[in-house]
Amino acid sequence: MKTHTFWLVRLLVMVCIFAVGSIPMAYADAHEAGEEMAEEEASEVSGWFRTDTDSLGTQIWVGASHSPSFLGGLSLDTDIYVVGTFGELDLGLGIPVVDSDDLSLSFLPMVGIGFDYAAADGPSSLIAPQLFTYLTAGSIYFESWIQGFLNSMFDYGDDSFYTRNFVLYSLNDTVAIGPQVEVTFDLTASEISSIAPGLRANVGYGENNTLGVFVGFETQKGEDETGITGRMTFVRSW
C-alpha cells in the first residue's frame, strides 16, 4: 500500500512539473501567434504623410490605404487635407488594374467634403469627382490628378476643375525627373484660370522618403508677375 502511494505521489509530482514547465512554452506559442496575427493585420494597412508648399500656403496631408481580404484586392483609402482653417476629408476605393514586376497600374476614385472652421456654418466645399491614376512601367512613372471643387452650393466661392499630370524618368535609385503640367478651369466663369507647365524632380531622402520639387511657368500671369511658380513636396510612407 505504501509502495503504491509512493509511486502515485511521484507520478503526481512529475505531472505537475511537466504542466508547470509547459506554461512558458504555451505562452511563447500564443505570444508568437499573436505577433503573427498583429503583423498580418498591420500588413493590410499602409499609410503616408505629406506636406506641400505652393501658392495656397503650406498644406498637410495624412492618409492610409486599408486592404482587408474581403475586398478582394481592392483597398479602402482615406485621407485628410489641412491648409489654414480649411480641412478636408476624402474617401475612395483603390482599384489595382495591373500589378507585376514590370508594370503597375491603379486607379483611385474619391469623394471629399471640406470645412472652413473659421466660420461655423457647416460644409464649405464638395470635392468631387476625383480620380487619381498611378502608372509605373520600368523606369517610367506617371501620375494624374483630376479634381472637381463644387463651392457655390455652400456660398463658399466659385466652382472649379483642376488637373495635375506628370511623367518621371528614374535616372537612378535616387533621382527621377520629367515634365509636369497643371490646369485649373473656372467652371463658374467658364474659362481657364491657370495653366502651369514645368519640370519636376523627385529625390529619395532615405527609405520611404521623397522630396519633390516642381518649377513651372504660369501662362495666365498678371502684367506685373514673372510667372515663375512651383511647389515643394515631402512625402513619407510606411
> pLDDT by residue (tens digit) across 185-217?
999 999 999 999 999 999 999 999 999 999 999
Rounded to the nearest angstrom, the gap between the alpha carbon of residue 230 and the centroid of all alpha carbons in its chain is 22
pLDDT of res. 10: 53
26 lies in the same domain as 118: no
State whether the Cα torsion 4-7-9-11 is positive or negative: negative
pLDDT tens digit sequence for 135-170: 999 999 999 999 999 999 999 999 999 999 999 999
Query: Could you tell me which residue, 29 or 224, shows the higher pLDDT?
Result: 224
224 lies in the same domain as 213: yes
CATH code at 138? 2.40.160.40
**Is a pLDDT exceeding 90 seen at residue 20?**
no
Across 71-174, the runs of DSSP E, i.e. the strands, are 75-83, 86-99, 103-116, 125-137, 140-150, 160-170
pLDDT tens digit sequence for 45-65: 999 999 999 999 999 999 999
Question: How many domains is the chain partitioned into structurally?
Answer: 2
170 lies in the same domain as 95: yes
> What Å distances lie between residue 213 and 141, 142, 145, 184, CA to CA?
16, 16, 17, 20
224 lies in the same domain as 120: yes
189 lies in the same domain as 106: yes
Burial of 143 from C-beta contacts in 10 A (0-12 / 13-18 / 19+): middle
| Largest distance between two CA atoms of the chain | 113
**Which among 60, 54, 61, 118 is positioned nearest to 85, based on CA atoms?**
118
166 lies in the same domain as 67: yes
5 lies in the same domain as 118: no
Q: Which domain holds residue 19?
A: 1-43
14 lies in the same domain as 110: no
92 lies in the same domain as 11: no
pLDDT band at 15 (very low <50, low <70, confident <90, very high): very low
33 lies in the same domain as 76: no
66 lies in the same domain as 146: yes
**Is a pLDDT exceeding 90 seen at residue 41?**
no
pLDDT tens digit sequence for 106-125: 999 999 999 999 988 999 99
224 lies in the same domain as 202: yes
Q: What is the CA radius of gyration of the chain?
A: 28
pLDDT tens digit sequence for 61-108: 999 999 999 999 999 999 999 999 999 999 999 999 999 999 999 999
pLDDT band at 182 (very low <50, low <70, confident <90, very high): very high
| Cis status, amide bond into 129, omega within 30 of 0 | yes
Residue % of the chain over a pLDDT of 70: 82
What CA–CA distance (Å, rounded) separates 198 from 38? Answer: 45
- State mean pLDDT over 123-139: 98
